[in-house]
């Protein structure tokens, strides 16, 4: 009886076996970025380059401005048509990195500039690389246009051999021949016929001078023409094709 009780007591005091260890929870796979600092970073996504802003309408492009002789001086002289052209043309020239001066007299005639002091003073004051002359509008009705041969030649000679362009005014009516006299006697200056360059030019209230729109159109056409007429390989900043080098 005692042996049975002892056996029972011994069985009751024995320790129960330890529970099995917990099963580890599955872990998500480790990404390349979590494997260590030696792992290369993912390639960066290239962003699209922002487009360059467009140049304002009517403004010369950077290529155009770089092609022109920076800092060179252009002198514009003449009558009221020179004033109508010169203000807008001056804006384009300055935007291209050029210097420009405008000397006008209203009304004025070819002889005023050929024999008077104003042109000589302007040449002395500015020492221009290029001279633009806009004269002849007030003489389209003279009965003897051949009388302007001498004044035209004298005016051109007073420029001292500088590159020059005589810009004929855009005609609003037929002339009696002074435009042809200028074409025949302005050498070595180039002659630019505005009536051909800007046909159907918008006119102002007087139906003679260009309107605001017409002035911009005329100036833009002259500016473009000057770029084409310039000889980049010439010895002067404004050597012109077919004109004085």
The answer, yes or no, to whether residue 172 has pLDDT greater than 80, is yes
How far apart, in whole angstroms, are the C-alpha atoms of residue 227 and residue 231? 9
Say if residues 151 and 96 touch (Cβ distance below 8 Å). no
pLDDT at 242: 76
Beta strands per DSSP E along the chain = 73-78, 99-104, 130-134, 164-168, 190-193
Total of domains in the chain: 1
pLDDT at 244: 54
The answer, yes or no, to whether residue 52 has pLDDT greater than 80, is no
**142 assigned to some structural domain:** yes
**132 assigned to some structural domain:** yes
For residue 7, the tally of other CB atoms under 10 A from its CB is 10
**165 assigned to some structural domain:** yes
The answer, yes or no, to whether residue 61 has pLDDT greater than 50, is no
The answer, yes or no, to whether residue 62 has pLDDT greater than 50, is no
**Residue 133 φ/ψ, nearest 5 degrees:** -110, 125
**12 assigned to some structural domain:** no
**76 assigned to some structural domain:** yes
**97 assigned to some structural domain:** yes
**101 assigned to some structural domain:** yes
pLDDT in tens, 75-96: 999 999 999 999 999 999 999 9
Whether omega for the bond prior to residue 185 falls within 30 degrees of 0, making it cis, is: no
Domain range for 119: 62-229
Closest CA to 138 of 82, 203, 76: 82
State both tokens at 44.
């960066």
pLDDT at 107: 96
Residue 190 carries which DSSP code? E
pLDDT at 67: 82
How far apart, in whole angstroms, are the C-alpha atoms of residue 180 and residue 128? 27
DSSP string, 30-48: PPGGGS-TTSPPPPPPPPP
State both tokens at 198.
């800007």
pLDDT band at 56 (very low <50, low <70, confident <90, very high): very low
**Residue 16 φ/ψ, nearest 5 degrees:** -75, 150
| Domain at 156, CATH number | 3.40.50.1110
**71 assigned to some structural domain:** yes
State both tokens at 87.
């203000």
Mean pLDDT, range 168-187, rounded to an integer: 98
**Count of helices and strands (H, E) across the chain:** 9, 5
Residues β-bridged to residue 77:
103, 133
pLDDT in tens, 32-42: 333 333 444 44
Residue 235 carries which DSSP code? S
**Beta strand 99-104 pairing with 73-78:** parallel
Q: What percent of the chain has pLDDT over 70?
A: 72
pLDDT in tens, 188-231: 999 999 999 999 999 999 999 999 999 999 999 999 999 999 99
**Residue 122 φ/ψ, nearest 5 degrees:** -65, -40
Higher pLDDT: 147 or 28? It is 147
How far apart, in whole angstroms, are the C-alpha atoms of residue 99 and residue 87? 13
């Amino acid at each position: 009886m005692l042996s049975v009780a002892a056996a029972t007591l011994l069985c009751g005091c024995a320790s129960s076996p330890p529970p099995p260890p917990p099963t580890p929870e599955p872990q998500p796979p480790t990404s390349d970025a979590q494997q260590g600092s030696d792992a290369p970073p993912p390639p960066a996504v290239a962003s699209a380059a922002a487009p360059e802003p467009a140049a304002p309408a009517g403004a010369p492009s950077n290529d155009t401005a770089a092609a022109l002789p920076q800092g060179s001086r252009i002198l514009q002289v003449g009558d009221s048509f020179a004033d109508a052209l010169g203000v807008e043309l001056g804006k384009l020239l300055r935007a291209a990195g050029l210097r420009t001066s405008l000397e006008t007299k209203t009304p004025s005639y070819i002889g005023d500039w050929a024999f008077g002091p104003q042109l000589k003073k302007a040449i002395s004051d500015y020492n221009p690389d290029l001279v633009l002359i806009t004269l002849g509008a007030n003489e389209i009705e003279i009965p003897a246009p051949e009388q302007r041969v001498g004044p035209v030649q004298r005016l051109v000679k007073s420029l001292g051999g500088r590159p020059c362009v005589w810009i004929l005014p855009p005609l609003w009516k037929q002339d009696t021949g002074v435009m042809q006299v200028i074409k025949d006697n302005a050498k070595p200056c180039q002659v630019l016929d505005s009536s051909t360059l800007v046909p159907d030019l918008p006119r102002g209230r007087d139906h003679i001078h260009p309107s605001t729109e017409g002035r911009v159109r005329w100036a833009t056409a002259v500016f473009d023409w000057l770029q084409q007429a310039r000889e980049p390989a010439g010895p002067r900043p404004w050597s012109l094709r077919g004109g004085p080098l």
